[in-house]
Structure 1
Amino acid sequence: MKVKFMVLLLIVVVVMQPLGRLWLFVSFKINQGYIAKELCENRNRPELECNGQCVFMKKIKQLDKQEHEHAPVQVKQLVEIVYVGNQFYWDPSIFLPLLKTGKYLITNSIHISSKQLLAVFKPPQAE
């Protein structure tokens, strides 16, 4: 139950972020009459025909400012330092005594027959 609630909450949060402007526009259109009569700065000058758009524009600017403040900081310049070591040292004198004595560093003491391999790894059969 908690997992479903958390999933729904995360979906709502992710979806609501880009829909902030849409929500602001819808709420403005629903309350435009009240905003034009009570909150508009130009309500005493009807010749401007503002109809509350000044309040709407202020809210849009405020929303832009909030989004800009919460935006992640972008890296202006990316500097990569790559060090490639091109030093290859091979000293055969280390391995020559081992090769002469027959003692190898890596030995294969496990013997697997071809029947065992074919029992596990089979090619696809044609139908």
Structure 2
Amino acid sequence: MLSALIASNFSRVFVYAGFEVNQKYISEKLCENKDKPWMNCNGKCFLAKKLKQAEEKEKKQERENLRSQHMEALPNAASNFTFLRTAVKTLYPERKVLNTVHRTFSIFQPPKNNPTQA
């Protein structure tokens, strides 16, 4: 993994070095603008294309490295994990329900108006 990291970081250096070593051949044979000498491209279009490919390759490698790191972080035994079902029954004491239907609420009744005491 370390070698992949180092190789991906130096891929641009290798592209530049290869371009410098083979610039004459690239400008004569591989340049997209070889029929347009007034542009003075001299193979720089080929260099730009190769640099873009190297960058895309680096990004792809980085995504794969991140994915593999995430996969290493997950335990392999997670698929074999099961919950044990235990039957636990909680017993609560039985409480009587208060019967409020037959109660009188004499405290809350308004005073009666008695006509004999007036």
TM-score, normalization by structure 2: 0.48
Question: Relative contact order: is structure 1 or structure 2 higher (C-alpha 8 Å, sep ≥ 6)?
Answer: 2
Largest Rg, 1 or 2:
2
